[in-house]
Chains A and B, each alone.
Chain A
Amino acid sequence: MLNSKKKSKKINKIHLTNSDEVSAYTEMLKIRRFEEKAGQLYGMGKIGGFCHLYIGQEAVVVGLQMSIEKGDQLITTYRDHGHMIACGMDPKGVMAELFGKSDGYSKGKGGSMHMFSKEMNFYGGHGIVGASVPLGTGLAFANKYRKNDRVALTYFGDGAANQGQVYESFNMAKLWNLPCIYIIENNRYAMGTSIQRSSAQSDLSQRGISFGIEGEQVDGMDISAVVEAGKRIVDRTRNGGGPYILEMLTYRYRGHSMSDPAQYRTRDEVNEVRDHSDPIESVKNRILKKKILSEVALKDIDSVIKKQILDAAVFAENSPLPEEVELWNDVYVK
């Protein structure tokens, strides 16, 4: 069990329906395969700059996407590939952006950390630690201003949780009762600094207490726990319950970015999580145990996904570089 000393206080695991189990498996695997491919292509020099992989954390975003409705918004930090794929953005467009090509979501001008899709209500992809928090609070502000019933999911990490602007946002979100759910993806390391070394109060779900914002820790490696908490809190917030903090206890298997050798933790620590708490493996085991699908059928799903991701890579490779005139476009709305 991950972070066993501080596991979810409310272990109200729900049983996912058979079709939910399969779609959870499929969506998480799609992110995993995408990220593996991105890592590989980065090594080949196809992807430049910073590239932060989501491997290990897949249950968080997939579970929360299963908890919201169309029209709800999401915004996150720079570890954003998983969020984009989970919210329905085309892996081809995401991969092309990683390649800096013209068919990328940002026409090649944003890169790994800066992609957006208004169509999917995905508001980025932000490279500055903590910046997504006021911005996401602003999305919630817009919902309240317009008196619609949309909810804004504002993701950030355990490192960002120590930023001052987070607390400025908490204060206003509670003051104005904004429909904002703060999702702290606590993967235990802020770049190379462990939560114990960076955070005086390491139970991040309690960081809203002085503002009257409730929160809870959730086992972010178990998609059924994520879906349970997600549905309950989305419903609460949609019905005027105001802001709430969901601290997702999770783990990234890879370094902070591609260039991080991750010498601040042991190989054993990584293997321990991977072997015993992997979010995809646990769903897979449940599917097999409940005999929802056979091992062969699961392999088929994997093959389809691998093909889809390979297609995305080929698409990205073949997509042209942005035309030089693009340098001058989109600085201003004309």
Chain B
Amino acid sequence: MSTKILMPAMSPSMKTGSLTKWLVKVGDTVNSGDIIAEIETDKAGMEVESMYDGVLSQILVSEGTEDVEIKTPIAIIELDSETVSEPIAVLDTEELKGKLFTNKVKPVKKVAANKKVIKKSLPDDNQFSVREALRDAMAEEMRLDKDVFVIGEEVAEYQGAYKVTQGLLDEFGKDRVIDTPITENGFAGISIGASFAGLKPIVEFMTFNFALQAMDHIINSAAKTLYMGGGQINSQIVFRGPNGAAARVGAQHSQDFSAWFSHIPGLIVIAPYTANDSKGLLKAAIRNPNPVIFLENEILYNDKGVVDITDQDIIEIGKANIVKTGDDITIISFSICMKLAIEASEILSNEGIDVEIIDLRTLKPLDKDTIINSVKKTNKCIVVEQGWSQSGVASEISAILMEEAFDYLDGPVCRVSGKDVPMPYAENLEKLALPTVEDILNAVKKII
């Protein structure tokens, strides 16, 4: 009896990986626990262990293959007779996933001892992932200004917990790409202190969930000191990292803080969707003399798009983007929920409803003009966000429209938000907790 070895899922958000090396060849005997291959995921280089005893009879995916989807069979093992009865061999792939998580993380190879500029991978079509766009933004700004540095957990030697800072250590060295202990309040405070003295830190939170530990310094030290000092001391600092729901990581690691930070005077809050906006806005954030909260999204990191922002370019903070013009209804969103807005708009278009889609990009300061002008035209509005509805970004926009565009509204402004519960772990419940295309379509039907 034989069994297939599948491309393992090594992280909750991993969809594909590269098979970098086979450590066994056809005909080799493998035992359970033997390392048989090396793969590269979106986050790290990993080793794949065999869970079976037997003989490798076939390699299905050759060494060097990129973008291998998880659960794709990569090899076949002819099992030893006594393992046939082992239940694991006959479990389906979904159940296998949990087991495969046990694979060990292998430290990423050091690239080169000598400093070198991150190679510009210039694909013909200028397509970059959001992850690359963010990294390139930091690298370009660090080349332009020696006061800019990156600090956070695993940003240097590990190359970034989500690989966003990959390669920065090699080019800029350990004085400018700084690993910290797991002490968010401490290193946020230290970075803000350094910004008071004129440096320009980029502080990476491994995820924004951990920024809660540092909330006092972000709000009380970074956001307010300029005002409390009558304009004497500013804090030119960027706090960046993934925000919002990840995948199947439960309540403490899956939440959207857009509204929290948007509430605070003194902070600028940015939440981009596309790769180009990620790059242009991060560059603008690094150059901005104020504290900027830069909310990325883990699930968007691999999304590719055309990036035409180069060294000197930035995208202006505080400007929303009209992604698609339309006459019948305005759908406003930002970050990952833009996916839902776009998908809903396509469905509605088939039903003859012409949607105008606005990507806010910056949440504070909010681009009120673009919002109001759009609603003056369409007279209807839906706001989609992943965060909880109470006191949310959608609530704010809804209030602005009530106050400043009341006479133009043909119906209530509808909020499509995350459900008012901590994020559940179970796959079905997690889906229910998050806003969906269906939710948008239902909202549209309510007001059209």
Contacts and interface: CB of A to CB of B under 8 A. Distances in A.
A169 B233 contact: no
Given A131-B220, A131-B221, A138 B232 contact: no
Contacts of B221: 126, 128, 131, 135
B186 A106 contact: no
A331 B266 contact: yes
Nearest to A330: B231
A131 B216 contact: yes
B190 A332 contact: no
B378 to A, nearest CB: 31
Given A145-B199, A332-B266, A169 B231 contact: no
Interface in A110-167: 110, 114-118, 123-128, 131, 133-143, 145, 164-165
Place the interface of chain A in its size category.
35 or more
Given A126-B221, A139-B194, A141-B193, A134 B232 contact: no
B3 interface: no
A103 B162 CA distance: 49
A105 B230 contact: yes
Interface residues of B, number: 39
B229 A134 contact: no
Interface stretch (B65-73, B131-139, B175-183, B250-258): B175-183
Interface string B172-204: 000100001101011111111111111100000
Given A131-B217, A145-B194, A114 B265 contact: no
Interface centre among A73, A104, A134, A171 (most CB of B within 10 A): A134
Nearest to B288: A333
A126 B228 CA distance: 10
21 contacts: A105-B229, A117-B232, A123-B233, A124-B225, A131-B189, A134-B186, A134-B192, A134-B193, A135-B189, A135-B196, A137-B186, A137-B190, A138-B196, A141-B190, A142-B197, A145-B199, A169-B190, A330-B226, A331-B226, A333-B226, A333-B290
Contacts of B229: 105-106, 110, 114-116, 124-125, 330
Nearest to A127: B220
B149 interface: yes
Contact of B225 (A107, A116, A117, A136): A116
A164 B181 CA distance: 14
A235 B226 CA distance: 32
B194 A107 contact: no
B233 A116 contact: yes
A37 interface: no
Interface in A234-250: none
A329 interface: yes
Interface string A163-197: 01100110110010000000000000000000000
B10 interface: no
A118 B193 contact: no
Contact of B186 (A116, A123, A140, A165): A165
B234 interface: yes
A225 B183 CA distance: 35
Nearest to A144: B175
B338 to A, nearest CB: 26
Contacts of B265: 331
B268 interface: yes
B260 interface: no
B124 to A, nearest CB: 40
Contacts of B181: 168, 171-172, 175
B186 A168 contact: yes
A87 to B, nearest CB: 14
B289 to A, nearest CB: 4
Given A110-B228, A131-B189, A333-B289, A123 B149 contact: no
Given A124-B233, A131-B221, A171 B196 contact: no
B227 interface: yes
A110 B175 CA distance: 35
B197 A139 contact: yes
Contacts of A117: 232
Contacts of A133: 189
B365 to A, nearest CB: 9
A177 to B, nearest CB: 13
A331 B193 CA distance: 18
Interface in B342-398: none
B191 A110 contact: no
A135 B290 CA distance: 17
A128 B232 contact: no
A125 B227 CA distance: 13
Interface in A52-89: 73, 75
- Most B CB contacts (10 A, CB to CB) among A117, A137, A332 go to A332
Residue among B186, B217, B227, B265 facing the most chain A CB atoms (10 A cut-off): B186
A174 to B, nearest CB: 11
A109 interface: yes
Nearest to A73: B197
A116 B189 CA distance: 17
Nearest to A173: B190
B185 A168 contact: yes
Nearest to B235: A333
A168 B216 contact: no
A128 B225 CA distance: 12
Interface in B387-440: none
A172 B190 contact: yes
Contact of B230 (A110, A141, A175): A110
Q: Which 8 A-B pairs have the closest CB atoms?
A: A138-B193, A134-B189, A168-B186, A107-B230, A142-B197, A168-B183, A114-B228, A135-B193
B210 to A, nearest CB: 13
Contact of B227 (A123, A126, A135, A330): A330
Contact of B193 (A104, A114, A128, A137): A137
Nearest to B191: A138
Contacts of B234: 333
Given A105-B232, A131-B189, 7 more contacts: A116-B233, A135-B189, A138-B197, A142-B197, A145-B175, A168-B181, A333-B290
A171 B194 contact: no
B233 A136 contact: no
Contact of B198 (A126, A127, A142): A142
A76 to B, nearest CB: 13
B290 to A, nearest CB: 5
Contact of B231 (A124, A126, A165, A329): A329
A8 B359 CA distance: 63
Contact of B216 (A128, A140, A333): A128
A106 B232 contact: yes
B211 to A, nearest CB: 14
A105 B180 CA distance: 35
B195 A134 contact: no
Contacts of A137: 186, 189-190, 193
B100 to A, nearest CB: 36
Contacts of B216: 128, 131
